[in-house]
Structure 1
Amino acid sequence: MGKNKGARVVITLECSCRNLINVNKRKKGIFRYTSTKNRKNTPSRIELMKFCPLCNQHDKFKEIK
């Protein structure tokens, strides 16, 4: 029997620049990070500032699904 994994879940963070039409974009596509969060401490969706190589700058990454 395995242990219960608890409140930590794997989340996907997606760049918010995917909806913007930017002239300085280097590539087309969507960039995503994966991370974990504690469901009990942060029940709402999180936003983090991360580097997006498609935009070549730091942007807000929002949690999806």
Structure 2
Amino acid sequence: MAKKGNRVQVILECTEHKTSGMPGMSRYITTKNRKNTTERLELKKFNPVMKKVTVHKEIK
């Protein structure tokens, strides 16, 4: 069988949206290199529900 690659898909979820209590959810799907980036990703992305740029953290 072929060896699995180092690139994996990760889901980024808005942290501010969870605490605000507003309905809905903001999630993004991206890829990361497992060898180079061992810790969880944390990026600033646009949240369309809150209509502003917020911090999105990797889940799972």
TM-score, normalising length from structure 2?
0.86
- Of all paired residues, the percent bearing the same amino acid is 47
1:48 aligns with 2:48: no
Aligned residues: 60
Q: Residues 4-43 of structure 1: matches in 2 within 5 Å?
A: 4-21=3-20, 28-43=23-38
Unaligned runs of 5+ in 1: none
Q: Which runs of 4+ in 1 moved over 4 A?
A: none
SS in 2 for 1:17: helix
Cα RMSD (Å): 1.7
Q: Based on CA coordinates, which of the two structures has the bigger radius of gyration?
A: 1
